[in-house]
Structure 1
Amino acid sequence: MILRLTSVRISAMDAAIISRVSQETSIPESSVAATIALLEKGATGPFIVHYRKEATGGLDEAKVRAIQERLAYYKEVLAQRAVLIKSLSDQGKLTDELRARIENSFSKIELEDLHHQFRPKKKTRATEAVEKGLQPLAEYFWNQEPDALSVDEHIQAFIDPSKGISTREEALQGAVDILAEWIYEDFECRKALREFLWNEGYVVSSVVPAKVNQKTKYTMYYNRREPVTSIPSHRLLAIRRGCKEGILVSSIEGDSSKAVECILARIVKEKDSVFAPVLEAAAKESYNRILRPLIESQVRTMLKERADRDAIKVFQDNLANLLLSPPAGPMVVMGIDWGKNGDCSVAVIDDHGAFLEGAKIRLTAPPLAPAQKALQETQSSKTESLPAAEGITADTLLVSPESESQTTEHEPQDLVAAVSTEGDLGTEASHEPAADSAAIQDRRAPDEAENVSESSASDSAKLEEMPKQEDGAAPEDLQAETTEETQTKEQEASATDPVHEGRRVLRDLVHKYHVRAIAIGTGVGAHELENALRQILVEEGWNDIMIASVNDAG
């Protein structure tokens, strides 16, 4: 999942944001800083995971995605900060203390609270009361500092029919309206109420009156009540869909008495003072009329964000399981990767993807050293440059050491002499080629017969010298001796031939784990590796094993 980030950039000085991302994702700050720097340069998540492991400390896709999500959130916070500071500066309300509070805020909800507090206000009951001159009376109750006059005397002093205040109750109500708005503007009070409703509130859903007797797909939500902290995301999303379709109504409910007590604990200095009843009335007015709808809306937003994250995670896991499910069904798979100089890394996994065993093998002959390669080329060129008489090729002159010791001394000399004097005998050879060839065959025939006789006599002597098999020897003993000899020869070949050893290891792994598929990469050496594997499969008779080429995307 690739996130679209806003235009705000994270500078190297924003160490606080890097620290918060590190704490929220449980990733070291050095890895977070390196990942953010790469993202700021335009790198994508998959690129960072596959090609910048040394910079990020080997972070996987899930961790890089988590950093991306938190980075996107804090970019929105920075953008919201800039808008709020500009708005307050234009209004002339920006102070150093307020700027410090904004710059130390890392929550969009908190910045939204500050925006509500200082945004241009519409005409409210509190502003009307201020216009009637009741603000000093509200300050008297807010400061809670008694003087020579009683509370009733203070209230009576603000009764003025010309301003629309004819009774004591009207003056007191105006003061309560002003106090209620001051409570609403208290940043810490809103934060405490939001935490209270999140931790102790309930999501309540009910059916609209017109659908009471109708059975719908939302029947189970007609009268449901679940805690905010533990309601499953799928249920919350279902309730939201029911509300959107006009079948359900929902709300976030909490204990109003506890909420009012939470407010009073912040504003009342002495519970038994003469100011407490008026402040309590102001707290109830503020919570029920102003704070509760705002806090409920913010908690709904927080629930929606959590539900969306959980739904995306569930969809991601389900899709990953679907895409990563074995296309040929569950089976044991061997993976072979072509490495440097033809060395291959082998790994075997079971039908659930668990690692079973690994090895390092070689399936092709190692490259010749420069000196060996030069010597081979020299011998090949010498063999090709030998002249050939008619009816005699260079292969005729290449004899094995055994036959060389058994040939006569005259035959090689005659052949070499015949070849070396080819130029002089060109005319005669051209007239009598058949005669010369017959003569050569006549000269070789007695010697060959003699060689055959000597070879037969030698073989007979060897057979006589071999110890005779004892009477009564079982065929199983002979088979065991043959098996031991075969294993000994294989061990000797494995010790000197890495290709033979590689095939032995491959054969043992296939038989041990009942491998049914071999996966190879598509990079350097893939074609050569595939050819070598196909040759091995044919030679071993593994007709039920398939070879699959897998690219970087799986």
Structure 2
Amino acid sequence: MQSLIHYIASKTSISNKSIESTIHLINQDCTIPFISRYRKEATGNLDEVQVGDIVTLKKDFEALQKRKESILKSLEEQAVLSDELKQKIENTDTLIALEDLYLPYKKSRKTKADTARENGLEPLAKIIMAQNANDLDFLASKYLNKNISSEENALEGARHIIAEWINERIDIRNSLRNQYDRYSEITTKVVKAKAEEENAQKYRDYFDWNEPLKRCPSHRLLAILRAENEGFIKLKISIDQDRALDYIENRIIKSDNHCATQIELAIKDAFKRLLAPALANEALSNAKEKADTTAIAVFAKNLNQLLLSPPLGEKTILAIDPGFRTGCKIVCLDKQGGLVHNETIYPHEPRKEATQAIKKISTLVNAYKIEAIAIGNGTASRETETLIKRIRFETDVQVFVVSEAGASIYSASKIAREEFPNYDVTVRGAVSIGRRLSDPLAELVKIEAKSIGVGQYQHDVDQTKLKEALDRVVESCVNKVGVNINTASPSLLSYVSGIGEKLAENIVIYRDENGAFTSREEIKNVTRLGNKAFEQSAGFLRIKNAKNPLDDSAVHPESYSVVKKMAADLKVNIQELVGNKELIKTIQLKKYCTENIGLPTLTDIVKELEKPGIDPREKAKIFEFDPTIKTINDLREGQILPGIVNNITNFGCFVDIGIKESGLVHISKLTDGYITDVNEVVSLQQHVKVKVIEIDIPRKRIQLAMNF
């Protein structure tokens, strides 16, 4: 335990006490949202990010320990494990250093050095390394046999052994590793046979590219690696060879005789054949890992913003999945998102039944008392929006354009089939568009996070790490907002702290069989939902119109007694206390501190009592694109257009200006001042004004600026 705490403390600024307490909670199967929200006294008030870092580092440490155990077992089986080597392995705190120690004993394919040893040449290699002999040809002649036909063959075999020794020198590997880390260059060259292919053109910037590897930003490195993987370019990672050889020679060669000449040849062989390939791959792997981490962090930040997008709330919605030839699929949804009607209209090319479409939409709006219309932002979106705005509704109907990203993934998914077994994918897609307007979080959790359409190169990064990071974001957002247990889908419930897929299904089954939950206490009746799951989940589950108003708040049931005592001391009941800001201000928090509940938790409780169960998200706002811009061909340099930020990267942000292609605002064009983080200036779904500065129609690229 102490070695784990030391490992985490060495990589964070978190105190040992907080780390130990957090690890204890993690080992008790407590979740990150629960620990950060309801165990602040134990952790020293660590937030979700800090608790998450401890979880990640704990996994890294356990992986390191597992690898150590495997290596020690292998060395014992080979009978080469000395006390000194064992101590070095046990004291190692990185996988790279661990693998360096194991390298001389690693079982692999037969090497040139192995062959040389079998031919009896290791004594000759030792003589050369001692650098005391002069007549090497004479010495080499003593090692001739049926496999070694000449003195040169003997010296070559000895050099192979020396090259392997050099390769296994930890000091040499670390020095060259440092050179690769600080000075390596990444160079790319186009594969000429594929240069003219259409798919190759998007990588043409990298047909002849060179820059220091450490300065290559995440998005560029991932693009280069994708281009190489698709066979359009070749890449190389290199350092100054002369500088590397000089270093090794200075470390090894201590004479100027014939031995030095042989060692010099062995050094060149070791570098070219063993060290350079391995360390170049390692440097590229490390750079890729850093690029993955950066890309995943950007993706996670974008996803967090998207999931917390403003909801419209419980409204009757008419949703349209627009199209030309196949028509526009229309669905009407009740306030809970239930499908009450669906049909298809054909207002656009080729059928042009606009008059009939307008009449049909007007009829549906009146029949189902529609309060808002959601239009998908895909094909025919602008034309459909224009059509809708021609209609004179009898009531005030708000019109929104909604992102379709991932809707097709949802509509063909198992979840969608289970929700709507009797409807095709077009109906399911339209339902998803409407529900996204009502509650983006509740709908988007049904789609695999990496398919939602924020971030870049999501298919190129480490998929396990990506899934872990995005699942953590979804879990954080769901628990931050809270979940109405009586209306939530199994997908949404599954992300509640302590629930998971199986318990989510059991909750829905219980709800279907017994009706709506009337209290948090009733949640315990759900099959297989034990005390631990209740402890982890209860504070994040909401019960509207419950007898106890705390059941619709973030106050955990374990703290109900404290609130009850507060109310009693103020001579009111809980119902009278909740929402009474003036009365709540008079509470003396220190009076209610106990061994388990301190000021951090009491402060959270009081904030929640003021506004119980309030949704932290803003409300959805109507946005209108420029009606004159329908395709990229309508754009002109210098135009000022309204837009919505729909993706954020490290090098800028993409803005939806109402056409198929989003425009890029490079980080240098965001503001007049210098910034390093795009999120300092913009956020996902933000409404902005942009200026068109460049249009590349063949490549379908649009350059925009905000600093005008």
Pick aligned residue for 2:224 from 201, 219, 239: 239
Matched, 1:550 2:614: yes
Report the RMSD for the aligned CA atoms in angstroms: 3.6
1:189–1:263 Cα contact (<8 Å) kept: yes
Q: Displacement, 1:32? A: 1.9
TM-score (norm 2): 0.44
Q: Displacement, 1:140? A: 0.7
Matched, 1:278 2:267: no
Matched, 1:13 2:2: yes
Q: Displacement, 1:167? A: 2.8
1:269/1:31 CA distance change after superposition, 3 Å: farther
Pick aligned residue for 1:230 from 215, 226, 229: 215
* In structure 1, C-alpha distance between the alignment counterparts of 2:580 and 2:218, rounded to whole Å: 59
Q: Displacement, 1:37? A: 2.3
Matched, 1:67 2:54: yes
1:522–1:550 Cα contact (<8 Å) kept: no
For 1:303-347, what per-residue CA distance to the aligned partner results, in whole angstroms no more than 9, with x for missing partners? Answer: 22211111111112222333445557xxxxxxxxxxxxx9xxxxx
User: What does residue 130 of structure 1 align with?
Assistant: 117
Q: SS of the residue aligned with 2:14?
A: coil
User: What does residue 435 of structure 2 align with?
Assistant: none
* In structure 2, C-alpha distance between the alignment counterparts of 1:130 and 1:48, rounded to whole Å: 58
Where in structure 2 are the equivalents of 1:174-253 lying within 5 Å? 174-214=157-197, 215-253=200-238
1:197–1:254 Cα contact (<8 Å) kept: yes
Q: SS of the residue aligned with 1:58?
A: coil
Q: Displacement, 1:98? A: 1.1
2:311–2:617 Cα contact (<8 Å) kept: no
Q: Displacement, 1:53? A: 0.8
User: What does residue 102 of structure 2 align with?
Assistant: 115
* In structure 2, C-alpha distance between the alignment counterparts of 1:179 and 1:550, rounded to whole Å: 71
For 1:377-427, what per-residue CA distance to the aligned partner results, in whole angstroms no more than 9, with x for missing partners? Answer: xxxxxxxxxxxxxxxxxxxxxxxxxxxxxxxxxxxxxxxxxxxxxxxxxxx
User: What does residue 268 of structure 1 align with?
Assistant: 253
* In structure 2, C-alpha distance between the alignment counterparts of 1:529 and 1:54, rounded to whole Å: 22
* In structure 1, C-alpha distance between the alignment counterparts of 2:572 and 2:266, rounded to whole Å: 94
Q: % of aligned pairs identical? A: 36
Pick aligned residue for 1:172 from 152, 155, 166: 155
Amino acid at match of 1:101: K
User: What does residue 316 of structure 1 align with?
Assistant: 300
Q: Displacement, 1:42? A: 1.8
Q: SS of the residue aligned with 1:59?
A: coil
1:522–1:549 Cα contact (<8 Å) kept: no
Q: SS of the residue aligned with 1:312?
A: helix
Matched, 1:87 2:151: no
* In structure 2, C-alpha distance between the alignment counterparts of 1:88 and 1:501, rounded to whole Å: 68
* In structure 2, C-alpha distance between the alignment counterparts of 1:253 and 1:237, rounded to whole Å: 18
User: What does residue 63 of structure 2 align with?
Assistant: 76
User: What does residue 84 of structure 2 align with?
Assistant: 97
Q: Displacement, 1:151? A: 3.4
Q: Displacement, 1:184? A: 1.6
For 1:411-448, what per-residue CA distance to the aligned partner results, in whole angstroms no more than 9, with x for missing partners? Answer: xxxxxxxxxxxxxxxxxxxxxxxxxxxxxxxxxxxxxx
1:522–1:551 Cα contact (<8 Å) kept: no
Amino acid at match of 2:202: K
For 1:501-532, what per-residue CA distance to the aligned partner results, in whole angstroms no more than 9, with x for missing partners? Answer: 959x9xxxxxxxxxxxxxxx999999x978xx
Name the stretch that deviates more: 149-158 or 86-95: 149-158
Q: Displacement, 1:82? A: 0.5
* In structure 1, C-alpha distance between the alignment counterparts of 2:257 and 2:45, rounded to whole Å: 63
1:63/1:163 CA distance change after superposition, 3 Å: same
* In structure 1, C-alpha distance between the alignment counterparts of 2:607 and 2:156, rounded to whole Å: 87
1:48/1:552 CA distance change after superposition, 3 Å: farther
* In structure 2, C-alpha distance between the alignment counterparts of 1:183 and 1:282, rounded to whole Å: 8
Q: SS of the residue aligned with 1:217?
A: helix
Q: Which runs of 5+ in 1 are unaligned?
A: 1-11, 329-341, 343-365, 370-498, 506-520, 531-547
1:502/1:76 CA distance change after superposition, 3 Å: closer
1:204–1:224 Cα contact (<8 Å) kept: yes
Amino acid at match of 1:201: S
User: Comparing both structures, which one devotes a greater share of its residues to helix?
Assistant: 1
Q: Displacement, 1:124? A: 2.3
Q: SS of the residue aligned with 2:215?
A: coil
2:7–2:93 Cα contact (<8 Å) kept: no
Amino acid at match of 2:171: E
Aligned residues: 341
1:97/1:502 CA distance change after superposition, 3 Å: closer
1:112/1:300 CA distance change after superposition, 3 Å: same
User: What does residue 239 of structure 2 align with?
Assistant: 254
Q: Displacement, 1:73? A: 1.2
Q: SS of the residue aligned with 1:229?
A: helix
* In structure 1, C-alpha distance between the alignment counterparts of 2:193 and 2:607, rounded to whole Å: 72
Matched, 1:290 2:274: yes
Q: Displacement, 1:207? A: 1.6
* In structure 2, C-alpha distance between the alignment counterparts of 1:170 and 1:229, rounded to whole Å: 42
* In structure 1, C-alpha distance between the alignment counterparts of 2:62 and 2:130, rounded to whole Å: 40
Q: SS of the residue aligned with 2:211?
A: strand
Amino acid at match of 1:308: D
* In structure 2, C-alpha distance between the alignment counterparts of 1:500 and 1:197, rounded to whole Å: 63
* In structure 2, C-alpha distance between the alignment counterparts of 1:55 and 1:550, rounded to whole Å: 26
* In structure 1, C-alpha distance between the alignment counterparts of 2:238 and 2:308, rounded to whole Å: 43
* In structure 2, C-alpha distance between the alignment counterparts of 1:326 and 1:282, rounded to whole Å: 66
Q: Displacement, 1:121? A: 4.2
* In structure 2, C-alpha distance between the alignment counterparts of 1:230 and 1:245, rounded to whole Å: 23
Where in structure 2 are the equivalents of 1:17-36 lying within 5 Å? 17-36=4-23
Matched, 1:299 2:283: yes
2:195–2:232 Cα contact (<8 Å) kept: no
For 1:270-310, what per-residue CA distance to the aligned partner results, in whole angstroms no more than 9, with x for missing partners? Answer: 4x344322111101101111122211222222122211111
2:187–2:235 Cα contact (<8 Å) kept: yes
User: What does residue 42 of structure 2 align with?
Assistant: 55
Q: Which runs of 5+ in 2 are unaligned?
A: 313-548, 550-569, 574-578, 586-602, 619-708
For 1:4-57, what per-residue CA distance to the aligned partner results, in whole angstroms no more than 9, with x for missing partners? Answer: xxxxxxxx232xx42332232222222222222222222221111011111111
For 1:133-162, what per-residue CA distance to the aligned partner results, in whole angstroms no more than 9, with x for missing partners? Answer: 22111101112234xx6334323433x2x4
1:234/1:269 CA distance change after superposition, 3 Å: same
1:502/1:170 CA distance change after superposition, 3 Å: closer
For 1:112-147, what per-residue CA distance to the aligned partner results, in whole angstroms no more than 9, with x for missing partners? Answer: 23333212343322222222222111101112234x
* In structure 2, C-alpha distance between the alignment counterparts of 1:138 and 1:52, rounded to whole Å: 63
Amino acid at match of 2:238: E
1:327/1:31 CA distance change after superposition, 3 Å: same
* In structure 2, C-alpha distance between the alignment counterparts of 1:303 and 1:291, rounded to whole Å: 18
User: What does residue 146 of structure 2 align with?
Assistant: 163
